[in-house]
Structure 1
Amino acid sequence: MSVTIRDLMTDPALFGDQFGGESWTAWRALLAGFYGLELTKDELTHWQALTGRQSAPEAAHDELWMAIGRRGGKSNIAALLAVFEACFRDHRDRLAPGEVATVLCLAADRKQARAVFRYIVGLLNACPMLQRLIVRETTETLELANRAAIEVGTASFRATRGYTFAAVIADEIAFWRSEDTSNPDFEILNAVRPGLATLEGPLLCLSSPYARRGALWEAYRSHYGKPGPQLVAQAPTLSMNPSLPARIVEQALERDPASASAEYLAQFRNDISAFITRDLVDNNARTRPLVLPPRSGLTYAAFVDVAGGGADEYTLAISHKEGNRTVIDGVWGERGDPATITANYAQIMRQYRITRCTGDRFAAEWPRAEYKKHGITMTPSDLNRSELYIELLPLLQTGAIELPPDEKALVQFTLLERRTGRNGRDTIDHPTGNNSHDDRCNAIAGAAWLASHRNELPRVIFKMY
């Protein structure tokens, strides 16, 4: 007799003590329907509310996309699904000698990956029958005696090739970010789908919703409420986790309605939109060289964005004007000792005959003093980050700017978001998250503004946050 997902969640000998209570009723209905189990009358009511489908499921589905509010139990469910697919789905008769059926759990960052892995290890160790399956455990992998393995990692298409997948679980997919591409979710899913084909494993995506773009939004837009092998569910936090005090959601809605509607009500945000498309930056980027050498007869400007610490880069962009066209000669980004980088950038500026700089009025005194050591004088700037990006947009739209073929900078441009505040004003910034930066594109925007306003402002602007 095979164990179903419903059995796993309700049997006291398995995980009934954790997932068998009333607070997990909606989750049990959703997962039972996804795997094609016959639903009870109460489960069908939950199924209809969660999926927008009126008819009961007749078969198992290939993909499950879950737009669920924060604190709705997603990480627990991700761990449960990993254990179910690895321990209770036998693929041994379809594996070649030496081949392993891998359940891959991908998370937005290492911290989230570790959290999911702890849930998985906790579930296996809580059940003596399953604990005995563990052959080897590392910080990111569990090898099991049934020729299955569970691996967790951060979202990267480079780390997903060459596997035979029993299942792929994408945790918080709406928040996947990468400095290498503006579409990490689509690229990673394209990379894992061939690995799922051999064993016909499911793709399981869980996330709080975010902006109306990306793989989760496209799945919701295309498949929610419609029959087919791609099942999409949407539910606010309290529907999936009624044990959470309602006041937490109410207070969040009072503080920031737009953010809380996404985080707790599972609504895709309509106050956030992409600011610059990839086609727009590609159409304005030269093919080579990466950096244009200094030329006589040109007046150059430079913009410096000092790193705020952590993973931020200390960046420099240099520009000049040729007729009505603004040219970004190059962009540099470094991490390390700020004094050393300052000395290096000052030397680059001198190569372009740049001797004056303008600094942010809120910048600390240290950068001004450090640049002064190298013969660069600083004066205050007037434009903030959002204003620089807004000034840049018409240059891109009219083809009046030439960008360097710096892939990291071009990706950063495409990740910029336009957010509409409660006062109706727009701000432009990079998304929140550990892998989101705009250091290079901010330096380019500043340098572009300087070149296009070179008769109005000093020739170098210094920016620091």
Structure 2
Amino acid sequence: MAISITQFASDSNLLNTPLWDKQSEILEEFWAGNYAIAVWALGRRSGKTLMSAIVATYCATMLADEYKRHLRPGEKFYIISVANTIDQAKIALQGVKDLINGSPILKPLIVRETTDTLELRNGAVFRALTASSRSGRGMACPLLIFDELAHAVDTEAGNAAGSSLYQALSPSVAQFGKIGKILLLSSPWIQSGIFWDLYKQAASGNFAHMQVVQAPTWEVNTTISAEFLEQEKARDPELFKVEYGAQFTGNIAAFIDNQLVDAAINSDRGLLPPLNKFNGTYYLALDPAKGGRDAYTACIVHYDGELVVVDQFHQFAPTWGDGKKTQVAVSLVEDWILEQHKAYGFASVVLDQYNSSSTIQRLSGRVKIRELTWTASSKTEAYSKLRELFNGGSIELYPHPKANGQIKNLTVTYRPNGTWGVSGGTGAAVDDYPSALAGAVLMATNRINKQQIIPAKSYRTW
């Protein structure tokens, strides 16, 4: 081959894009080893999109004549990049467009550009597809790139979507024999799904046609600062291992390390009385019981400098029911809120959307009260902040066996699409205290930072 891929990337008349040492090493190994499949598990900000764009451009231009030997006269060949969303797909294609448009030698090859294609005079067509698309079937495709395959899902198939997509499109390279290649690149996620399965196969060493690379961000991107990495690690050590450390994780893990919960407990105090100097800076959040099975809980917090102090947890006692399904009298809850407001002077009171609309309406003229709609987005934000506080030693609890026990029992489930959910387990009354605490933390933090709580409605009328 006349020119190597790293020379192709760095040549000022071609791509004029010098690579980091580790990037060059990965790309050179891919071509020198004549691999048919490459599995790159790389940390965030490792330049994965750029690397895939360089591979795509190299194949479309330097290998075009070799590909044409496997085509009918006049037949086009397709370089397909598959991403999880349309925006991500366009970013991947834009990377190729930018490289070619910036090259004095390659730019004249462009025949046509659209939002999802780029066509060259030599018969190469770059095509961007989303993970839910099946339109790539049947194309003559010497190079197939899967971007962030570890996170590939669709609405119906869940984690199986990545597998079904791979099975549907991978035969497209077969007609090109040994020069047909599949590139799978992603930041790792959970230990399941097609990316994990292919990673295990490649890492086993039993498949000579498969290249495997696993590298943390700082090993690839030497320009990233140690300070930035330390900040990210302090915010969420477990997520840091996955996103930047390039480590696969189990589906379920403890949400907050029990030692961090113990370290946050101030054993020398109990409930804190309201203090005048904090009047107007206290926040109350309530987690109403749903259907009589859960506990109706409340949590009061305030900021003391950078420290979030939990002043008190409270659980409302059921007052009526048939013994099997008891209920809390809403009027007693409302009386308690007003009584506490007189003492603490709440900056705000927040209730979630369950069983609380009547209370919100009745108290809206007397207390600044807000409704927090728990969605995947707002819950993730609230619990992310809660975990960040524990990780940073910036929250103070007091001895409350039930509340602290529920916090310790929280688990996080990592989903194949890159999201995660928090749960206290199965059954009733397993995470009522943490839910109230997360709501209070979200309200207090957003108000301190002068951010709009998401999504919430204000009912203050005075």
Which structure 1 residue ranges, 5 or more long, are not aligned?
37-58, 274-300, 302-359, 370-383, 387-420, 438-445, 450-463
Deviation readout 1:263-309 (Å, 9 max, x if unpaired): 11100013538xxxxxxxxxxxxxxxxxxxxxxxxxxx9xxxxxxxx
TM-score by length of 2: 0.56
Q: 1:430 to 1:267 in 2, by over 3 A?
A: closer
Counterpart in 1 of 2:54?
80
Match for residue 164 of structure 2?
187
Q: Which residue of 2 aligns with 1:347?
A: none
**Residue aligned with 2:142, SS:** strand
Secondary structure, counterpart of 1:27 in structure 2: helix
**Residue 385 of structure 1, CA deviation:** 10
Counterpart check, 1:272 vs 2:252: yes
Choose 230-239 or 423-432, whichever is displaced more.
Answer: 423-432
Aligned pairs for 1:44-123 (under 5 A) are 59-90=33-64, 91-123=67-99
Structure 2 distance, partners of 1:217, 1:269, is 10
Aligned partner (choices 225, 240, 243) of residue 260 of structure 1: 240
Pair 1:145 & 2:127 matched? no
For 2:196, the equivalent position in structure 1 comes to 217
Task: Say which SS state the counterpart of residue 199 (structure 1) adopts.
Answer: helix
TM-score by length of 1: 0.55
C-alpha separation in 1, matches of 2:22 and 2:413: 38
SS state of the match for residue 90, structure 2?
A: helix
Q: Does 1:243 align with 2:232?
A: no
State the alpha-carbon separation in 2 of the partners of residues 367 and 95 from structure 1. 66
CA, structure 1 residues 429+230, in 2 after alignment: closer, same or farther (shift >3 Å)? closer
CA distance in 2, matches of 1:18, 1:428: 39
Q: CA deviation at 1:222?
A: 2.1
Q: Distance in 1 between matches of 2:240 and 2:407?
A: 13
1:208 aligns with 2:170: no
The worse-fitting range, judged by mean Cα deviation, of 152-161 and 68-77 is 152-161
1:224–1:30 distance in 2 versus 1, CA, 3 Å: same
Change (3 A) 1:222 1:245: same
Query: Which letter does structure 2 place at the counterpart of 1:256?
Result: D
Assess if the C-alpha contact under 8 Å between 1:65 and 1:233 holds in 2: yes
1:221 deviates by 1.8
Separation (CA, whole Å) in 1 of partners of 2:37 and 2:146: 11
User: Structure 1 runs of 4+ off > 6 angstroms?
Assistant: 364-369
* Cα shift at 1:366: 10
Worse-matched range after superposition: 238-247 or 63-72: 238-247
Mapped contact 1:86–1:166 kept (Cα < 8 A) = no
SS of residue paired to 2:106: helix
Aligned residues: 290
CA deviations 1:146-188 (Å, max 9, x no partner) are 1110011211352221211020111111111101313111111
Counterpart residue identity of residue 200, structure 2: R
Give the letter aligned to residue 249 of structure 2. Answer: R
* Equivalence map 1:31-42=2 (5 Å): 31-36=27-32
Which residue in 1 is equivalent to 2:315?
Answer: none
- Secondary structure of residue in 1 paired with 2:352: coil
Q: 2:23 maps to what in 1?
A: 27
The separation in 1 between residues aligned to 2:167 and 2:357, in whole angstroms, is: 45
The change in CA–CA distance for 1:119 and 1:368 in structure 2 (over 3 A counts) is: farther
Pairs within 5 Å for 1:413-432:
423-427=408-412
Tell me the CA shift for residue 251 of structure 1.
Answer: 1.3
Alignment of 1:62-461 (within 5 A): 62-90=36-64, 91-156=67-132, 158-182=134-158, 183-200=160-177, 201-224=180-203, 226=205, 228-270=208-250, 272=252, 362-363=352-353, 423-427=408-412
User: Displacement of 1:206 after TM fit?
Assistant: 0.8
C-alpha separation between the residues in 2 aligned to 1:188 and 1:251?
Answer: 36
SS at match of 2:17: helix
Structure 1 residues 165 and 241, CA gap change in structure 2 (3 angstroms): same
CA RMSD of aligned residues (A): 3.8
Find the residue that maps to 1:233 and give its secondary structure: strand
Contact 2:41 2:185 in 1 (8 A): yes
Could you list the runs of 5+ residues in structure 2 that have no partner in the other structure?
254-290, 292-349, 360-373, 377-405, 429-454, 457-462
Could you tell me how far 1:368 is from its partner in structure 2? 7.5
Aligned residues: percent identity?
A: 29
Which amino acid is the alignment partner of residue 423 of structure 1?
K
Q: Indicate how the Cα distance of structure 1 residues 19 and 367 shifts in structure 2: closer, same or farther if over 3 A, else same.
A: farther
